């Protein structure tokens, strides 16, 4: 058992180097190369979440939504306290055409933390575009309370109240 721990510990510097390389390729928008490198990192240390999250994000950027959804579902299952995974998962679901399910996941993530409150204005607009008037109203009102100078959201609230 100690040998396993030592060998995993020895892999950490290599894992971190591989992750750093993947970030460089991701910043350069070379997602195919980033994907290749992230898969190497996952092989090195499959239990670590960083590379798995990077893989889900890279797949999202490559518009490989179904694959990204699968990775996000595993991340949410393995790390249920990380609302970011659920929030991003909701976005991927929306992009994959699973709008109602995506909104549900985003809403759940937003109830867990204020980290995504800045997204409420965009979410209100998305709700409105999808005919979810009450959800749009709630999101817009909370956003406007936090950002009272956001004229677009003020106009959206006026439009909702007119409906």
pLDDT digits (tens, 9 = 90+) for 63-96: 999 999 999 999 999 999 999 999 999 999 999 9
Q: Is the pLDDT of residue 2 over 50?
A: no
Handedness of CA 35, 37, 43, 46 (dihedral sign): negative
> 27-31, 58-62, 102-106: which has the minimum mean pLDDT?
27-31
Q: Residue 7: which pLDDT band, with cuts at 50, 70 and 90?
A: low
| pTM (2 d.p.) | 0.82
CA nearest neighbour of 36 among 49, 50, 18: 18
Cβ-based neighbour number of residue 40 at 10 Å:
15
Question: How far apart, in whole angstroms, are the C-alpha atoms of residue 73 and residue 85?
Answer: 8
The percent of residues above 90 in pLDDT, for the chain, comes to 56
């Amino acid at each position: 058992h100690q040998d396993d721990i030592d060998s995993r510990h020895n892999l950490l510097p290599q894992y971190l180097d591989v992750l750093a390389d993947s970030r460089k390729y991701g910043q350069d928008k070379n997602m195919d190369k980033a994907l290749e490198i992230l898969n190497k990192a996952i092989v090195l240390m499959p239990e670590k979440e960083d590379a798995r999250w990077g893989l889900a994000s890279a797949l999202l950027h490559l518009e490989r939504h179904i694959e990204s959804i699968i990775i996000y579902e595993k991340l949410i299952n393995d790390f249920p306290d990380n609302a970011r995974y659920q929030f991003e998962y909701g976005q991927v679901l929306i992009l994959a055409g699973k709008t109602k399910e995506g909104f549900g996941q985003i809403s759940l993530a937003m109830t867990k933390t204020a980290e995504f409150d800045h997204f409420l204005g965009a979410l209100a607009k998305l709700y409105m575009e999808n005919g979810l008037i009450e959800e749009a109203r709630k999101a817009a009102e909370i956003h406007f309370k936090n950002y009272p100078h956001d004229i677009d959201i003020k106009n959206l609230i006026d439009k909702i109240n007119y409906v």
